[in-house]
Amino acid sequence: MGAGVGFFEDNVSPIKNHRDEVYRIDVCIVENPMERGIYETYMINEFQAKYNVNKVFYK
Domain membership flag for residue 57: no
pLDDT for the residue numbered 10: 65
Q: pLDDT tens digits for 18-55?
A: 888 888 888 889 999 999 999 999 988 998 888 777 88
Domain membership flag for residue 26: yes
Q: What is the pTM of this model?
A: 0.60
6 conformational bin, left if phi > 0, alpha if psi -120 to 50, beta if neither: left
Domain membership flag for residue 59: no
Residue 25 sits in which domain range?
8-51
Domain membership flag for residue 56: no
Domain membership flag for residue 31: yes
The tally of domains found in the chain comes to 1
Give residue 46's Cα distance to chain centre.
12
